[in-house]
Structure 1
Amino acid sequence: MPILEIDHLQKAYGETHILHDINISIEEGDFLVLVGPSGCGKSTLLNCIAGLEPTTGGKISIAGRDVTGVSPKDRDIAMVFQSYALYPTMSVAKNITFGMKVRGVDKATQEAKLAEVSRQLQIEQLLNRKPGQLSGGQRQRVAMGRALVRDPRLFLFDEPLSNLDAKLRVSMRTEIKKLHQDLNASIVYVTHDQIEAMTLATKIVVMKGGVIQQIGTPAEIYNRPANMFVADFMGSPAMNLIPARVRAEGGATRIEIDRGQGDPLVFTDPVARDLPAEIVLGVRPEDIHEATGTAHLPDAARQSGGEVMIDVVEPAGADTFAVTHLGGKPVTARLRAESAVRPKQMFPLAFDLSKLSYFSPKDGQRLN
């Protein structure tokens, strides 16, 4: 039985529609991440799941129970907010146990739960402090502890790391992932950060304009984006999207890309594909290699190279990013750190043909 099932959910404010026919199902122990740009509806969807926002249509079920019209306190959920929402006059211990006290949980159980979660989150030494005496990361741990003591069927996280600095975000991300693994907790997590989504999720929902663009595992979302929006949004650097011309050639597919000067860059996909004459070619930066160093690639990829003019070279420690222009668009290749690539010089690049995505220039949908 799914731990969370959302059927044909709609949300509107008057004539303004925020969520359009949302359908999602996750199993117990799943870590679902709702990701998308600001204003895409992901926080509104989370609030509908929590019961903080009434729905306009559709149904929400938690552990097989229809909770569409049920009060938030009766949905068996716990929520961790972006703002932490801690009581400033209470100690850490009282913040964590306050919900249990309100629900009439006996004092011995409160103390046992407090000891358990404070040990899990390594905040034992903070229990007598007030929230104002804590760092951002410590306050976040307290907010998580308050959710954990409830032992709910479903945890809801609303951009919990967005107020933290970059280094602390990475360490807290690891802690949340470890908690999920240790507890086998069922989690719905909202973020606009696609790196957070990729590293935390067992399943990702990519949203745009209140519409689900794609649902899948991180690998599915990354390797087979359903459309150009997902391809561009998920990945850092983003997938290169290059206008190209296509025609059948025997039992294969000939692809031509404008280099801006001279003959086009031409290579042959060994698979015969039913494609329109003009497409948008999608290729991840790590799937564009130095043509002289492609011994680890499939045979077809080793024959897919061509020289291009390099505009910019960006050393990045373990990698070197080289930017060229193909099809009138900037294209980034992620090369080896020791690569001899130089700006304003021609350089041989090879595409890994087994990793290419093809999109329609008309509606942006995936074609392969």
Structure 2
Amino acid sequence: MAPILEIKNLYKNYGSLNILKDVNVSIGSGDFLVLVGPSGCGKSTLLNCIAGLEPISGGSIEIGGQDMTHVSPKDRNIAMVFQSYALYPTMTVAKNITFGMKVRGVEKAEQDIKLAEVARQLQIEPLLSRRPAQLSGGQRQRVAMGRALVRDPKLFLFDEPLSNLDAKLRVEMRTEIKKLHQNLGASMVYVTHDQIEAMTLATKIVVMKGGVVQQIGTPAEIYSKPANLFVADFMGSPAMNLIPAKAKKNGSGYNVIIERAGGEPLVLHEKRTKKLPANVVVGLRPEDIGDAQYRKGRDLHVSSCQVDVVEPAGADTFVLMSLGGKEVTARLHAETGATPGKEIEFAFDMKKLSYFDADTGDRLELQ
């Protein structure tokens, strides 16, 4: 089956400034693609190129198997939800939602059917006679989504649609969008700088930096096997611990040596086979460093480390320590006995360790 969206070798330049560099992305029908990265990485520009709001400098864009590279936005069969909602202030909610259909000459009876269907889906039936000024931020967001839904497009495009909402409402609306995607089976492209939003919504994530795609994968792939140090550091909250280390051959495996201030180095025994360079960066998620007393398993390395800071966080307790000259976070049991200045036994999950080349920053795959 042909991809619903296929971007090939896409470049976008403003004069001599390269904004997007050789972007290649494709998604199947029903996928939820999230473009994520820091401010200025090119994700909104890429979305505008897909929408046809920005002309591209090279490459091609296909939607539903048709080349849309030079097709105007109105003929691309897409619907876009903007950060600002872009609602008409003098029109009622009902008229805001049906306005696009009216312009396209859709019969009044069909407009009414579509409006009723979308209002029910988004639970905005009581709001149809109100104007945007009488709505909360979350209600305006629903109306903007309703206007996109009535078009029944091949592709929905969302440009940071939740960034104007407060934290609690963001979480609620995120759930609404997730439900909407599941119920409609629609194909969506969504831009955000919030990596938690990306992880919870996406079926596929594109991580960008400086106009270059760093990694494309499922949320689980991006989280567990980041392609490089940038992705490892950007995705996850708290971020992955990235610890400088030395690798020395030891039989069929390696000793991975991590310096500790004022004490013996921490030596992890890596049994997986692959040639490691002398200088590596060890990546380990906070949840993969646990309390030894609660962890059992054959691939655990247990070692005593000094606790610097203890941060209770309800169900978990975060403990900070210093390894390899870096502050390292462990996610421990709520009932941990850790206290600052004391040593406790930590269990390092060797199966979950990632390794990165200290010079290139690229992930090193082990067997």
Match of 1:166 in 2: 167
Partner of 2:136: 135
Instruction: Normalising by structure 2, report the TM-score.
Output: 0.98
Q: Which amino acid aligns with 1:308?
A: C
Give SS of 2:364's match. coil
Structure 1 letter corresponding to 2:169: L
Segment of structure 1 superposing worse, 338-347 or 67-76: 338-347
**Alpha carbons 1:291, 1:349 under 8 Å: kept:** yes
Deviations 1:108-167 (A, max 9, x none): 000000000000000000000000000000000000000000000000000000000000
1:1-368 superposed matches below 5 A? 1-295=2-296, 297=297, 299-301=298-300, 304-368=301-365
Q: Deviation at 1:273?
A: 2.6
Query: Could you give the per-residue CA deviations for residues 301-341 of structure 1, whole angstroms, max 9, x where no partner exists?
Result: 1xx12111111100000000000010000000000101111
Q: Which amino acid aligns with 1:8?
A: N
Alpha carbons 1:254, 1:267 under 8 Å: kept: yes
SS at match of 1:45: helix
- Counterpart amino acid of residue 314 in structure 2: G
Distance 2:294 2:246 in 1: 27
Contact residue 248 and residue 272 of structure 1 kept, 8 A = no
How much does 1:247 deviate?
Answer: 1.0
Shift of the alpha carbon at 1:291? Answer: 2.0
Residue 192 of structure 1: how far off its partner (Å): 0.3
How many pairs were matched up? 364
**TM-score for both structures, normalised by structure 1:** 0.98
Cα deviation, 1:27-53, whole Å, max 9, x if unaligned, reads: 000000000000000000000000000
1:251 to partner: Cα distance: 1.6
Instruction: Give distance in 2, aligned partners of 1:258 and 1:92.
Output: 62
SS of match in other structure, 1:293: coil
Q: Which amino acid aligns with 1:110?
A: Q
Instruction: Tell me which amino acid in the other structure corresponds to 1:329.
Output: K
Distance 1:136 1:73 in 2: 27
Q: Which runs of 5+ in 1 are unaligned?
A: none
Name segments (4+ residues, structure 1) moved above 4 Å. Answer: none
User: Distance in 1 between the 2:273 and 2:155 partners?
Assistant: 47
Structure 1 stretch displaced more, 305-314 or 17-26: 305-314
One-letter identity of the residue aligned with 1:300: D
Between the aligned residues of both structures, percent identity stands at 70
Q: Secondary structure at the match of 1:247?
A: strand
C-alpha separation in 2, matches of 1:300 and 1:106: 66
Q: Helix, strand or coil for the counterpart of 2:90?
A: coil
Contact 1:77 1:155 in 2 (8 A): yes
Preserved contact between residue 269 and residue 300 of structure 1 (Cα < 8 Å): no
Q: Give me the whole-angstrom Cα distance separating, in 2, the residues matched to 1:313 and 1:7.
A: 48
Q: Report the secondary structure of 1:354's partner residue.
A: helix
Counterpart AA for 2:349: D
Q: d(CA) in 1 for partners of 2:288 and 2:225?
A: 14
- 8 Å Cα contact 1:5-1:61 kept in structure 2: yes
User: How far did residue 8 of structure 1 move?
Assistant: 0.3
Verify the 8 A CA contact 1:81 1:159 in the aligned structure 2. Answer: yes
For 1:28 and 1:288, how far apart are their aligned partners in 2?
39
